[in-house]
Amino acid sequence: MLCVQLCLWLQPGTRVCAVTRQSIHKLASLQKATALPQKKMQSLLYPFSKLQGYLDRSVDKSQFQLFHPSLEDMLEAEKLFCSSPSHKIDYYISAERMDHAPALKQPEVCFIGRSNVGKSSLIKALFSLTPEVEVKVSKTPGHTKKMNFFRVGKAFTIVDMPGYGHNAPKDFVDMVEPYLYTRKNLVRTFLLVDGSVGLQKADLIALEMCEEIKCPYVMVVTKIDKCGHGTLLTNLISLQDVVKTQTTNCFPQPFLISSLNFGGVYFLRCFIAHVTGSIRLKDTCQS
């Protein structure tokens, strides 16, 4: 989807200027999503709505809808993810160790999770309205060995953390843990788990660590496009059970995401804008 514009000036002398511009995904903006048929739109904006019909009546659904932004709120949040001369969004810096991490004043949110769970893909989807921001996504587990910092104007910073599990437990101890323990401007951690495989041992270790650090965090269930409703619901309910019984700092509502088809991405943009204090929500919600 790379579109290359070539501008040629033949006088004086031949000068070739190549402007490389990534095209924007057709569902990157809320406006495009709202043009879809109602059911499809609803499942992209509020992915849980598609699942709730399959849940038994005895299941308490309120926990899944504590944060439920209006379309207006999501539109407001989306503006923050559009780059402009006065609000630049860019990849700022990578750090291999905590003492290389930049000192930033802006509120920060970070994405942690096992290698391959979809951290970089999710950040790429969040920034899909500014595709010139390069977020590396890999098929090889353990690709992100550094903490990558992305600045969203003066509003906030998003950090893509190295994955753990597989062959990267060292990165976890060396980077993720010290970062979570010491980062003063960190306002929310997003702990990603793969919705198609459910909670794994490494996820539970990360969850225990977040509890120990007492950082406010949110579980994000990724790749919801990849499995059927049955598998997703089973994994979601067992996750919900763990959140309910084993956590005190975790937001009780897991967020459902597909970076592939943008399900839940508009919703997450709104949550990030809200927890970083970048927007004031019109409708009431908790967080």
Q: Whole-number minimum distance, CB 261 to Mg ion, in Å?
A: 19
| CA separation for the pair 3, 218 (Å, rounded) | 36
- Closer Cβ to Mg ion, 78 or 171, answer by number: 171
Q: Whole-number minimum distance, CB 203 to ligand GDP, in Å?
A: 12
Task: Tally the C-alpha atoms within 13 A of residue 70's C-alpha that lie toward its C-beta.
Answer: 9
Q: CB under 6 A: which stretch of 65-73, 114-122, 204-212, 247-255 binds ligand GDP? A: 114-122
Question: What residues make contact with Mg ion under the rule CB under 5 A?
Answer: 119-120, 144
Note whether 117 binds ligand GDP by CB under 6 A.
yes
- Output the CA torsion 95→207→265→58 (10° steps): 180
Residues 213 and 178 sit within 8 Å (Cβ to Cβ): no
Q: Whole-number minimum distance, CB 214 to ligand GDP, in Å?
A: 24
Q: Whole-number minimum distance, CB 195 to ligand GDP, in Å?
A: 9
Tell me the Cα Rg of the chain.
19
Note whether 163 binds ligand GDP by CB under 6 A.
yes
| CA separation for the pair 207, 203 (Å, rounded) | 6
Among 146, 174, 226, 252, binds ligand GDP (CB under 6 A): 226
Note whether 91 binds ligand GDP by CB under 6 A.
no
Q: Whole-number minimum distance, CB 6 to ligand GDP, in Å?
A: 30
- Closer Cβ to Mg ion, 163 or 198, answer by number: 163
Contact flags string 134-153 toward ligand GDP, x per CB under 6 A: ---xxx----x---------
- Closer Cβ to ligand GDP, 121 or 278, answer by number: 121
- Closer Cβ to Mg ion, 119 or 183, answer by number: 119
Residues 114 and 165 sit within 8 Å (Cβ to Cβ): yes
Q: Whole-number minimum distance, CB 259 to ligand GDP, in Å?
A: 4
Note whether 120 binds ligand GDP by CB under 6 A.
yes
Contact positions toward ligand GDP, by CB under 6 A? 113, 115-121, 137-139, 144, 163, 222-223, 225-226, 258-260
